[in-house]
Structure 1
Amino acid sequence: FSVGVFVIKNAIQNFKNAIQTKTMEVSPMAK
């Protein structure tokens, strides 16, 4: 286990969360 792997996984998780937030904002079905 290395710090680099953790950083990459954290970045991917943040990216997924950003996509979900954007989808909720755009999609009328989410509201």
Structure 2
Amino acid sequence: MFNKIIPITIYILVFIFYFIIAHFDIIALKKGK
């Protein structure tokens, strides 16, 4: 079970982290311009 659950959890965390970074990048670009 854990062999399948852990990689999925890591993938979800990375996806959320990437989404937050991209969101802040968009805000920074809007403030910059």
Query: Which whole-Å CA distance do the structure 2 matches of 1:3 and 1:18 have between them?
Result: 23
Q: TM-score, normalised by structure 1?
A: 0.78
Structure of larger gyration radius: 2
Structure 1: which 5+ residue stretches go unaligned? none
RMSD: 1.9
User: Structure 1 stretches (4+) deviating beyond 2 angstroms?
Assistant: none
**Length, aligned pairs only:** 30
Q: TM-score, normalised by structure 2?
A: 0.75
Structure 2: which 5+ residue stretches go unaligned? none
